[in-house]
Amino acid sequence: MTDLDQRLRRALLTAVQDQPAPVLPSGADYRAAVRRRWPAMPAAAAAAAVVLVIGAVIVVLGRGPSGVPAPAGGVAAWPPRGSLAGNVALTNAAMRTWEAALLPHRELPHSDVTVLYAEHTIAGNVVVLTGVDALGHRRIAEFDTDATSTTAFRHRLHLVADLLAPTGDAAGLIAIDAPRDTPRKSNDDLLVVLAPPATKLLEWRDQMHHWQPLPAVNGAAALVHVENTLSTSVRAGRDGDGVQTMGRFYPFGAIGSEIVHDLDPGETLGPPARAGTESCDGNTCSVTAGGSMTVEANPKGNWHSLLDSRPVTARDWVEFGGEAQLYADTFIPNDGNTFTTTWSGVLPDETGIYLEFFKPGNDPIHLLVYVDRPEWYGGSVVDLVPSDGQLSALAVEVPTPRGRTLDIVVTDGVTPQWRTGTGAWHSMAVRDNVATAVVPSGVPLSWRAVDGTGAVVASGAPHAVSPR
């Protein structure tokens, strides 16, 4: 081949590769469902239809032979990178958060866990880990803090993604693009890209921009960019010959993002108790966003079941709504479901409680009660299935630095009470439909809720919760 032929070939290849090309999802990426998260309806709405929509977006990874050095042993051999990689408290917290996540029990614990990346961004701190799950497969996990949090949980790490490590031609390039809250008014994503340390050039684009450099240091980069509902692409070098696809985490609504979790190869979720058919496809499992339901948004004074929505208030707490969704995806998978937040808040003693109504197909209604503390590394979930589909109150017993705490969430017009043994009942003051009290330790505890006539509408022993 002549020198002219070679130059023409390179020029044509570059021209073709630099043209935007439509990225069509296929296979598991096309079928992977993402659910819309809705807040409770405003008080003015007597009832509204909550419709769950299916959506899928992908990140495309381009890899050119001269752009990415050989993986050299894979991600397990890569050194930690990022300005916070030496922050032992932060990276240890990420490791403990991974073990405390609401993941399938058969995947835990992880072994051979190392830090790939840790950095501070305007979207908060980000930590990326790699490790081998209990089934023997290497995984990549990302954890972020919430840069907009104003609660005691503002320094807690959130699990953003738990993915199978790429293999083969894609092993030398990792990209995670996830929606994250920032102080900016725009809807933003945090793009994290990792390549072998010797990588000289990383580039990215979306459907609104041409290829542009990533601010990479030693083959690693983090970039906050305005969310694009179309695809995001990443490549190393300018060759870009061939692509691999990875799941992208795509938010619906304003209550946070879904945690993306890959199943191991060949793994399927067994049929859980009281659940219907599972929704698993390829290496991704999630509750399919199919179906709709009318949810009553009860105005103040008319909220009579914890399984109905309440109007949104200033005290609602949604920072860890994704964890409740991850529990539902992991332990109550189903092809058709409806759900909505019914009550949430951070109590004066800094305990966070988040209630979510969940209706899997034609199966009984679940009420997921997520309870968390800022000093924990993962919350606890109480999964309730009321026999008659109604629930006037619930109680949880929480260990706190102040001692044993009893927290009772009640509907309108209901008064909670507690006692130890066969002693006298103690009434509790209710504010924003919740009451709390420090109770004696080491003695049997019971509670009840009474209505305006003195009739008992709920009672029993509180649900004991603890950090994972």
What is the number of alpha carbons within 13 Å of residue 124 lying toward its C-beta?
A: 27
pLDDT digits (tens, 9 = 90+) for 48-85: 322 222 222 334 444 444 455 555 677 899 999 999 99
Q: What does the pLDDT read at residue 268?
A: 67
Q: In what order do the strands lie in the sheet with 174-179?
A: 174-179, 188-194, 220-226
pLDDT along the chain (468 residues), means of 10: 41 39 36 35 31 31 49 82 97 97 94 97 96 96 94 94 84 85 89 86 80 88 82 66 34 51 76 34 28 46 82 81 88 72 92 89 85 95 86 95 94 94 94 93 92 93 91
Rounded to 5 degrees, what are φ and ψ at 375?
A: -85, -5
Q: What does the pLDDT read at residue 298?
A: 62
Rounded to a whole number, what is the largest CA-CA distance in the chain?
Answer: 98
Q: What does the pLDDT read at residue 398?
A: 96
Q: What does the pLDDT read at residue 46?
A: 32
Q: What does the pLDDT read at residue 346?
A: 95
Buried b (16+ CB within 10 A) or exposed e, 419-448: beeeeeeeebebeebbbbeebeeeeebbbb
Instruction: Answer whether 0.85 is exceeded by the pTM.
Output: no
CA angle 43, 47, 53 (to 5 degrees): 110
Per the structure block, which two tokens stand in for 162? 């738990």
Q: What does the pLDDT read at residue 78?
A: 93
Q: What DSSP state is assigned to residue 90?
A: H
Q: What does the pLDDT read at residue 297?
A: 56
Is there a cis peptide before residue 109, judged by omega within 30 degrees of 0? Answer: yes
**SS3 state of residue 56:** coil
What is the number of alpha carbons within 13 Å of residue 21 lying toward its C-beta?
A: 14
